A = this chain, B = another copy of it.
Amino acid sequence: MFNNDQKYIELSKIPRYLQIKYELQKFLAENSWSFEQAIPSEQELASTYDASIGTVRKAVECLVEEGVLIKHQGKGTFLKHPAFVESSIVRFYLRNAKEGKPEMPIGEIKCVKSVKANPRINQLLGEPVENELIYLERVRSADSKVIVSDKIWLSPEKFAPLSELKPEQFENLLYPFYFKLCGQLVVSAKEQMTILLNHCDTYLTDGQEKAVIKVCRAAKGLDGSIIEYRESYGLAEDFYYETIIT
């Protein structure tokens, strides 16, 4: 009925460069594009999408700003390795790191299991409310001291390969591991920080109550949906965070 017509009109109102952006995003998600191979050049994209270079450049520019792509003059445009280090919770230890060589902390999985549905988290992950989720517990340590304690929830479908693994079979960095085993790439995340003055965590606080910072993180995949939900805890005394405001 009218719906179709209306939809068509609505769609044609979306700028061409945004349409191309979405197409490109879909293309990259569906092909599990590698980090090493350049995506088609701007000339190629212009001809395949039948648009001028300027328009394609604008589409690509959007994805660069979102942190999905990165350009190298003379070489090409590539999928960007997400900046894993930039997590706010992981900045804790960077402040106190030895001069010159900030050492990456070691990530260790403590527990992998399937847990009952949690309405709020299921909804975030786009899962039916009755579905069970994959649940990980993990600690990050430096100099054999626990710095960050993570609780992680994942969709059972997208991350099915993980549920078969034992804790020791995981790797140090989780996001590249997700990508390798499950083809899921984290491109951005939203974090909420709060402070808990008396919190007790098995791994972080030695069973005592301490002041901690809690970071709730919702990580998005290439298609924009939330693919991982994580709650991280660090000691308040180690906290340091920097930001720019405009």
Pairwise interchain contact A211-B192, C-beta atoms closer than 8 A: no
Asked if residues A86 and B193 are in contact (CB atoms below 8 Å), the reply is no
| A189 within 8 Å of B (CB atoms) | yes
Flag whether A20 is at the interface (Cβ < 8 A): no
- A105 to chain B minimum Cβ distance, whole angstroms, is 17
Segment from A135-143, A156-164, A238-246 that makes contact with B: A238-246
A246 touches B83 (CB 8 A): yes
Could you tell me if B246 and A193 are in contact, using CB atoms closer than 8 angstroms?
no
Bound form: Cα–Cα A211–B195 in Å: 10
Q: Which of B67, B82, B86, B197 contacts A211 (CB 8 A)?
A: B197
Name the B residues within 8 Å of A213 (CB-CB).
195
Mark out the residues of chain A between 55 and 95 whose CB falls within 8 Å of any chain B CB in the assembled complex: 66-67, 82-83, 86-88
Please measure, in the bound complex, the distance between the C-alpha atom of A241 and the C-alpha atom of B192, giving whole angstroms. 5
Distance from A158 Cβ to chain B, minimum over Cβ atoms (Å): 20
Q: Which secondary structure dominates chain A's binding surface?
A: strand
B236 and A195 contact, CB distance less than 8 A: yes
A222 within 8 A of B: no
Candidates B188, B195, B239, B246; contact of A245 at CB < 8 Å: B188
Q: Which residues A211-246 have CB closer than 8 A to chain B? A: 211, 213, 236-237, 239-246
Residue among A188, A236, A237 having the largest count of chain B Cβ atoms under 10 Å: A236
Question: Is A197's CB under 8 angstroms from B236's CB?
Answer: yes
Residues of chain B within 8 A (CB-CB) of A241 are 192-194, 241
A239 to chain B, nearest CB (A): 5
Q: Give 21 pairs: A residue, B residue, CB < 8 Å, sorted on A.
A: A67-B246, A83-B245, A83-B246, A87-B245, A187-B246, A188-B244, A189-B244, A190-B245, A191-B243, A192-B240, A192-B241, A193-B240, A193-B241, A193-B243, A194-B240, A195-B211, A195-B213, A195-B237, A197-B211, A197-B236, A197-B237
Given A191-B244, A192-B240, A195-B237: 17 more A-B contacts, CB < 8 Å = A67-B246, A83-B246, A86-B245, A87-B245, A188-B244, A188-B245, A188-B246, A189-B244, A191-B245, A192-B241, A193-B240, A193-B241, A194-B239, A195-B236, A195-B239, A211-B211, A241-B241
